[in-house]
Amino acid sequence: MKPLHWELFKRAARREKLAQVPMALIIDSPWLPGYLGLNHLDFYLDPETWFQAHRRVHEEFPDIMFFPSWWMEYGMAAEPSALGVKIKFWPKNTPSESRTLRNIEDLEHLAPYEVESDAFMALSLHRMRMQRQRILDLGEILPVATARGPMCTAAFVRGTTEFMMDLLEKPEWAHRLLDLSTRMIIDWLKAQARALGPTVEGIFLLDDLVGFVGEEHYQEFCHPYLKRICDAFPPDWVKVYHNDASIEVCLEHLPATGFHVLNWGKQTDIADVIARVGDKLCLMGNVNPLEIGVRGTPAQVRQATLEVLEKARGASHILSVGGGVSPGMPRANIVAMQEALAEFNGRR
């Protein structure tokens, strides 16, 4: 991300009135290797392949804010791997995880985590230090530290179905696992900030599992931990939350956690989100990423983009898809989003 783009993103996050709507896309390994015709193992394990992949996309779309900027990740492996989860790698897909805790009480026997030296956290931090200066030399910055959220991390360790049952049957143990995950996530984000250097001014938290519970369980098992994470970082840092599952039960509560920007999925129309929290959050979305972004024609993408922009008129808005860029989204459809945005901005 260019410094100018980051300044624009920060202004949008603060809900300032902008002359034009900006566009940002979350890109990572579900989309990047396939788009560039790369083997996933090469993308993860060859630092030069990883570097050139990001460079090519940034140069191809210089006007798009790619968020969180040069993401140094191994799919969703970093957080669960530090708690002993088995990770499998595939040549044509992102890594998969195999749960560790067959019984949640085995949490007592987990080895203490060490974010600087454990599994894929250690490898990610090494790559950050290795690549940081090369990225800065291109005139780009690394402004955001990124992590999976507490519910998502806990579910990787315990298993999603099993953890959902724990919320009901063993809530005290569920809280212990969420507390462990939250402490580790805070330490992990701080370690990234140290590795990436002084350009870091924000955090990006991804937790779709929040969308798997009702409002009562959100209030007990999600909200306090999300707020702890936000509170652990300076109040002037930009805090971005991603959830492309359901946001229905958490939407009105999210501003109180400390997040400034919401990136959400296709399930909730942007007009409904604006009606509920439009003056409290900057909204980053939400063109349908799969049925439109991947499977639609450029004409359909253009129409859907203009509809989102018209509905968001007057709100704090960063144009994006509803979540990250889905595997298989073609160049023509990204260009169609850009052209629709240029058309809309030209009429403002």
pLDDT at 236 over 80: yes
Of all residues in the chain, what percent are helix, strand and coil, respectively (each to 5)? Answer: 50, 15, 35
- Please write the tens of the pLDDT for every residue from 244-295: 999 999 999 999 999 999 999 999 999 999 999 989 999 999 999 999 999 9
The whole-number pLDDT of residue 148 equals 98
pLDDT above 90 covers a percentage of the chain that reads: 99
pLDDT at 238 over 80: yes
pLDDT at 239 over 80: yes
pLDDT at 157 over 90: yes
Torsion region of 291: left, alpha or beta (phi above 0 gives left; psi -120 to 50 gives alpha): alpha
Whole-number Å distance between alpha carbons of 334 and 320: 10
The whole-number pLDDT of residue 348 equals 74
User: How many CB atoms sit inside 10 A of residue 338's CB?
Assistant: 17
- Please write the tens of the pLDDT for every residue from 24-80: 999 999 999 999 999 999 999 999 999 999 999 999 999 999 999 999 999 999 999
Whole-number Å distance between alpha carbons of 172 and 170: 6
Cα–Cα distance list, 176 to 146, 154, 179 (Å): 23, 10, 5
Phi first, then psi, for residue 144 (nearest 5°) are -135, 135
The whole-number pLDDT of residue 303 equals 98
- Show the tokens assigned to 20: 């034009």
User: How many CB atoms sit inside 10 A of residue 221's CB?
Assistant: 22
Asked whether 295 and 35 are in contact (CB, 8 A), the reply is no
Whole-number Å distance between alpha carbons of 52 and 35: 13
pLDDT above 70 covers a percentage of the chain that reads: 100
Asked whether 128 and 72 are in contact (CB, 8 A), the reply is yes
The whole-number pLDDT of residue 262 equals 98
Over residues 109-127, mean pLDDT? 97
Domain that holds residue 58: 3-347
CATH number of the domain to which 97 belongs: 3.20.20.210
Whole-number Å distance between alpha carbons of 342 and 335: 10
Task: For the chain, report the end-to-end CA distance as a whole number of angstroms.
Answer: 25
Over residues 151-158, mean pLDDT? 98
Tell me how many domains the chain contains.
1
Average pLDDT, the chain: 97
Over residues 192-202, mean pLDDT? 98
Asked whether 90 and 157 are in contact (CB, 8 A), the reply is no
Over residues 179-203, mean pLDDT? 98
